[in-house]
Amino acid sequence: MIELPDPKFLADENVAKLGKWLRILGYDVAYRSPATDAQLALLALREGRVILTRDRGFLERRMAEKCLLIESQDAIEQLQQVIQTLGLKPERNHLFTRCLSCNVLIVPIPKAEVRSVVPDYVYKNHDEFHRCPTCERLFWKGSHTKNFQKWFREIDN
């Protein structure tokens, strides 16, 4: 197990779903597709990112200093591999803090500002809303949040 303080990742196209799961946990995960191996390696070096890939050839060519070969095709198993191998300690207060599309931190938005853009049911049943400052996507804690938190409790024990 290798422990990295505050790691940043770069997911290549064959582990894009893993990147999304890591973003849900609050980790900074860049994603580039399509990109050449050289472009991935340069970006990872420039931004201090760990490359996550299933491409054995990339690893064998030793194009990047920090690279983790992902073994499984299953996104949950991939996530568990990254957490265990890198000694990550996901924190509950970091869950759902990043835009799943843009990777930037989302910001709170007053409930009154979303009245005209969310369904009535959502507006009536939720008090906290967040917005991505880049793509302006809106977020709220729906059933997917509860389901993920339940799963997170199971792997956290």
What pLDDT digit, counting tens, does each position of 23-37 carry? 999 999 998 777 888
As a whole number of angstroms, the distance between CA 72 and CA 22 comes to: 16
Q: What is the pLDDT of residue 122?
A: 94
Number of H helices, E strands in the chain: 6, 7
Mean pLDDT over residues 116-121, rounded? 94
What's the confidence (pLDDT) of residue 1?
Answer: 46
Beta-carbon count within 10 A of 149 CB? 15
CB within 8 A of 145, min separation 6: which ones?
Answer: 95, 96
pLDDT per residue over 88-118, tens digit each? 988 888 889 999 999 999 999 999 999 999 9
Report in angstroms the alpha-carbon separations of 37 from 41, 68, 133, 155: 6, 14, 30, 33
pLDDT digit string, tens, across residues 38-86: 888 888 999 999 999 998 888 788 777 789 999 999 988 999 999 999 9
Predicted structure pTM score: 0.85
Q: What is the pLDDT of residue 146?
A: 72
pLDDT (0 to 100) of residue 29 = 97
pLDDT of residue 150: 72
| In the chain, where the domains are located | 8-92, 107-156
5/31: higher pLDDT: 31
Residue 153: is its pLDDT beyond 80? Answer: no
DSSP for residue 98: B
Alpha-carbon dihedral sign for residues 150, 75, 20, 68: positive
- Give the per-residue pLDDT at 110: 97
